[in-house]
Structure formats: C-alpha cells, structure tokens
Amino acid sequence: MTIKAVIFDLDGVIVSTDEFHYEAWKKISDEEGIPFNHTINNRLRGVSRMESLNIILERAEREYSPEEKQELAERKNEYYKKSLVNLTPDDLLPGAKDTIDELKRRKVKIAIGSSSKNTPTILKQIGLADAFDAIADGNDITHSKPDPEVFLLAASRLDIKPEECLVVEDAEAGVQAAIAGGMNVAAVGDAGLHSQDADYRLERVDEILDLI
C-alpha cells in the first residue's frame, strides 16, 4: 500500500464534541417534547445536521414542515456553537497531535474531511486552524457521508489520487464513504470496535503511523 495522504474525519478522530452535540439535540428534543437519549444519539454519528434531525423526528407526534425543520436545525446549531467556546487544545483526543506532527515530519500530506459546517470554528478552538494541507467540510458539499463527496473533495484539494489516500474515521457512515470513494480506511473509536468493512481497525489514531 502506497499512502501519500491521510484524510481525517474531525469529530471523534481529532477531537470529541459528541457531548456538545448530544446536549444541543437533547435541548431541542425536550423543547419539542420528543424522546431522545444516547442510544438515539449514536445513530447521528457521521451524518449531516438535517439527516440527524430527521432521525430525531421519527419519534415526533406530528409532522414538521420543511420550514420548521430548518428552524429546528438552525436552533440546534446555535446551541451547539455556543458550547464550542469551551473547546481548547486540551480536548484533542489521545495521540492526535503527535500523529499530525509525525505525518508532517514524514512529508505525508494531511487533510480534514468532515461533514460538519463548524469545522473552521472547531479547528481554531483546538489550535489546528493552520495544521492541514487541505480542508473539506460541510460548507463545501451537497451530499454527506456515506456519500464519498467530502473525501473526494479533500483528495482533489491535496492533488492526490483517492487510492493513495488513507481515511481515518470513527463512524460507519464515514467508513462506507471512504470505501465508496475508492480509498483505504482505518476505523478508530466506535467504528474501530464494530466496523466489518474497514481495512484497519485501530484503538487509537496514532496507530496509523505503523501503516504508513
């Protein structure tokens, strides 16, 4: 395997804002009288904001119009963004910073491929705004994971062929997106425990250094 670039998902790989997402969705759900818990929240991993909302609304007692859905999604995002001010470099997941630094030392190109539209804010808060050679995020794409669009865009911005990229993902939707894009994929976190399709299943992100 010749790997010339590593494309990282952001949330759950570099940093975890899962609890911030959970609290924001829980607040929306409580306001609307819709059941919501961590089990439901796990289904939201790696999917877009609107798709996440649709999953939550499966338990609603009424139908919501497109306009109402948009308002709910925007309200949730405002709750979430307010919580991001609490993020610091101390919130980087174990091994993430060392992995980034070592890949740079080895002259391996690195990118972010995330469905989140808050990627720039998160990277700034954790001190990695200028750490990557390319960024593709929810502000750039039409289709979220498991569609490969965000990873293919990241590879294009790196000027690296998809088959020469290794994607690092913690969600099954992201694993499937990488596969659909013709890329190698290392699963960490939840996907590392459960994914049947990833090329590599790892406990920590820094284990990818043994693959390159």
Q: Which residues are catalytic?
A: 9, 11
How far apart (Å, rounded) are the C-alpha atoms in residues 96 and 194? 21
How far apart (Å, rounded) are the C-alpha atoms in residues 167 and 35? 34
CA distances in angstroms from 203 to 100, 102, 186, 190, listed in the order given: 17, 18, 10, 9
Strands 5-8 and 200-201: unpaired
For residue 15 the two structure tokens come to 């940093």
